[in-house]
Amino acid sequence: MGFGLWLFIITFVGTLLVQFWLKRTYGRYARVANASGLSGAEVAKAMLRANGLHDVRVEPVQGVLSDHYDPRSRTVRLSADNYRKASVAGMAVAAHEVGHAIQHAKGYTPLQVRAALVPVASIGANFGPWLVIIGFMIGAMGLAQIGIILFAAAVLFQLVTLPVEFDASNRAMRQLAQMGLVTPTDSGGARMVLNAAAMTYVAALAASLAYLLYYLSIFLANRE
């Protein structure tokens, strides 16, 4: 069995395990009511008011774990359950997304860098690996090199995403505590949800970095 196949199997299994952990952790605390009795939408709106972000909207969005902050329209979007239910998971996720809104308002540098990388990272993630594979197949090392550079931009985007996500979670937990919205019991569950979500980004980065190094090793071997 070749190294490339082993790499695919290891990263695939690792990603599945992390996704399973996230869904299991989220599912557990989505069924636990938070002590404040506030829905995710109410938590988000309270945090936004406390930070003077009166121009940021909070809206429901379809899907599960589809929560996100849209900097273009300045909107915190929460999946339906998190929007309307007063759960520990919903509170944690809502606070995390407001954390991104606070980052945006304060001009958090890693968030700005990530936003600047979006166009090239999108191209790199979608087309970089294909250019690498085609380049290797037809012996066009120049084409493979372009693919590697594009894919490296996508990996850089994932790398910059880590401090953005961890900082948003830290801001969320700090704000929840300062505003008295979270009890010690709720705090532990909320932190577990956010940690599980953060690990999905770590796993994705590890998998992409492994493939980037694999592509580079083949490219350098062919050059020699």
Is 97 annotated as catalytic? Answer: yes
Q: Cα dist. 190→12, 21, 27 in Å?
A: 27, 14, 12
Which one of 59, 97, 165, 224 is the catalytic residue?
97
Residue 101, C-beta contacts closer than 8 angstroms, at least 6 positions apart: 48, 51, 53, 56, 69, 74, 76
Distance CA(207)–CA(158), nearest Å, equals 11
Beta bridge partners, 76, equal 58, 69
Note whether 84 and 60 are within 8 A (CB).
yes
Distance CA(163)–CA(190), nearest Å, equals 19
Q: Which residues are catalytic?
A: 97
